[in-house]
Amino acid sequence: MPVVTVDWWTGNSETARAEAVRGITDALVAAAGCPREAVTVIIRDTDPGYWGSGGTLASDSRTDRPR
């Protein structure tokens, strides 16, 4: 029973979340040979102000990271 957690920044649509869940599920069914019903995907939206990389917050307007 695979469980996948996706952490990404807030702002993605419900359509994007549904596509991610579907794509991840399809990949695990193909790779692991498990039934679709056994795959759980958890998506956690995180505000960029709570996401740090390279010593700075993603919400820092001085960074050149894509959002």
Confidence (pLDDT) at 66: 55
Confidence (pLDDT) at 61: 67
CA distance 38 to 42: 13
pLDDT tens profile 25-55: 999 999 999 999 999 999 999 999 999 999 9
pTM (2 d.p.) = 0.81
pLDDT tens profile 8-24: 999 999 999 999 999 99
Structure-model confidence comparison of residues 67 and 34, the more confident one: 34
Out of 3.30.429.10, 3.30.1450.10, 1.10.1760.20, 3.40.50.2000, which CATH number does the structure's domain 3-57 have?
3.30.429.10
Q: Please name the residue that has the structure tokens 């807030």.
A: 10
CA distance 10 to 48: 8
Q: Please name the residue that has the structure tokens 């996948």.
A: 4
